[in-house]
Copies of this chain bind each other. A is one copy, B any other.
Amino acid sequence: MALKALDYDTLNENVKKCQYAVRGELYLRASELQKEGKKIIFTNVGNPHALGQKPLTFPRQVVALCQAPFLLDDPNVGMLFPADAIARAKHYLSLTSGGLGAYSDSRGLPGVRKEVAEFIQRRDGYPSDPELIFLTDGASKGVMQILNCVIRGDGDGILVPVPQYPLYSATISLLGGTLVPYYLDESQNWGLDVNNLRQSVAQARSQGITVRAMVIINPGNPTGQCLSEANIREILKFCYNEKLVLLGDEVYQQNIYQDERPFISSKKVLMEMGSPFSKGVQLVSFHTVSKGYWGECGQRGGYFEMTNLPPRVVEEIYKVASIALSPNVSAQILMGLMVSPPKPGDISYDQFARESKGILESLRRRARIMTDGFNSCKNVVCNFTEGAMYSFPQIRLPPGAIQAAKQAGKVPDVFYCLKLLEATGISTVPGSGFGQKEGVFHLRTTILPAEEEMPEIMDSFKKFNDEFMTQYDNNVGYSRM
């Protein structure tokens, strides 16, 4: 009997090929265990509110008023909402063409895109054009739109850091392109060596691949490193020489936990490099409301800014965005609030500053607790989380464990993470989901569990890990870094 279009064997092969480990086997098993009543600590995905982080009050007040605009005519509105939230809600509603229920322009509300451009200009010290900023339903959607424009077939390669956030590998598979890996150096705190890049490109070209674009994630996901200005400059020169579009994933730009390398945007570095680079490198930078001290993942808001793209290409990207009509308007407004938060003197300023500072300082402490915790464990070594939301320890699995994994039909780090999950309820993602060097194993966990629960979680991890290592350790032939 002939197969139907939605039978497994006749599905689009690109759909079948793509893998997304952040919500893969471990997550599915964790969800099952949760259904069975086990307490699960979901650290598989950077989802702060799911682990108890409270939303920032002021932006939520504003968006709530935009959802219920009739409250603005209620004489009692001032009993529940401060005057500056009321004023901001009126401001944002005036930027829409019918409130949150009306489609906006497919690029997002012009007024919010203007606020984003002003934010970028303040941040970088260089002009930004609202016409080159598109709002999106989260940064992931923006990345997918741009890669869709770049990738024409499997002859097109995209340089992606390894370890990488699997959005990139999954999207490239889905679009039928080829991922060209470049390895970050764990022994150099996950540094990026341009010589590695050259090798990766040369190797891809020798296989007939046209390398078209390069992805950087700064701060790094899952690796947590912050790129230096000098490093970004090298990357931009490389992109200039090789005619690559640079996709700058900068969604963790607020999440910095050290003072030596504050966040610096690729756009700013590019502008500072001047001619011929500043007009010669095609750059698309991504940002989101999901990360930072906002953590508004479920709202799905983001933007991308395009630099040095020809107007005709911008029009094409606009056309494709228009097929899905518009990003959700509520998160567009949240993005507006993120880029223009309360100012000193505003009624809500103190509360806003207190809340955001509190979250960021706690994240910094948690990054430290987690790194130290991992480094106290047997056969575990972990670079410090300089930025972003993740810890990515190397787990040096003894041969006995690798053997046992093989017998269970599992990749060794998947085997380890499953055992960890069953024993402790901690739901992580195996390093193989992000890519890692042959024979080296990691896991990714977020630094997001509540600070007060952190010591207990790390104790529970250590207890599991050290027992696991003792069980399998025969003191010879560790996998090496």
Contacts and interface: CB of A to CB of B under 8 A. Distances in A.
B149 A55 contact: no
Interface stretch (A314-322, A394-402, A465-473): A314-322
A190 interface: no
Interface in A137-194: 137-138, 140-141, 144, 146, 148-152, 156, 167, 170-171, 174
A101 interface: yes
Given A50-B98, A76-B80, A98-B49, A282 B103 contact: no
A61 B151 CA distance: 44
B68 A60 contact: yes
Interface string A73-101: 01011011000000000000000111111
Nearest to A76: B79
Contact of A298 (B69, B98, B149): B98
A327 interface: yes
A52 B71 CA distance: 18
A316 B149 contact: no
Nearest to A70: B57
A23 to B, nearest CB: 4
Interface string A124-147: 000000000000011011001010
Contacts of A3: 243
A323 interface: yes
B298 A326 contact: yes
Contacts of A103: 45, 47, 50, 297-298
A404 B194 CA distance: 60
A329 interface: yes
Contacts of A18: 319-320, 323
Interface stretch (A8-16, A215-223, A373-381): A8-16
A312 B8 CA distance: 6
A170 B309 contact: no
A152 to B, nearest CB: 5
Contact of A102 (B22, B76, B297): B297
A245 interface: yes
Nearest to A140: B324
A313 interface: yes
Interface string A279-323: 000101000000000011111100000000110110010011011
A6 B149 contact: yes
A4 interface: yes
A96 to B, nearest CB: 7
Given A64-B64, A323-B174, A151 B101 contact: no
A275 B445 CA distance: 50
Contacts of A77: 80
Given A67-B60, A330-B328, A167 B137 contact: no
A5 interface: yes
Given A47-B98, A100-B298, A310-B8, A137 B137 contact: yes
Nearest to A328: B300
7 contacts: A5-B244, A11-B152, A19-B319, A55-B100, A60-B68, A77-B80, A103-B298
Given A6-B282, A8-B313, 4 more contacts: A12-B151, A15-B149, A148-B174, A297-B325
